[in-house]
Amino acid sequence: MLVLTRKVGEGILIGEDIKITILENQEGKIRIGIEAPEEQKIYRQEVYDRICRENREASQWDTSKIEVLNSVLPRKRWDK
């Protein structure tokens, strides 16, 4: 982990196209601004962690529920 000390108005660059600037430091809270290409996804850590957790949970599907789905979904007939 790289640890840096920055003052308000100072920033850092990540690669050539991501710039992080310290906007405000007030009452123990720091506001930052991030300039990055639109296609670059940027998440708060807690949001990213939740997305990962929900994706893991969704991938742990109980295959025994296939029979329940088969009983409620209409069957398509291909022999017309």
Q: How far apart, in Å, are the Cα atoms of 57 and each of 20, 54, 60, 63?
A: 33, 5, 5, 14
pTM of the predicted model, to two decimals? 0.64
- The Cα–Cα gap between 38 and 40 comes to 5
pLDDT along the chain (80 residues), means of 10: 94 96 94 96 96 90 76 70
What pLDDT does residue 79 have? Answer: 57
Backbone angles phi, psi at 23, to 5 degrees: -95, -40
Cα end-to-end span (Å), the chain: 63
Domain boundaries, the chain: 11-70
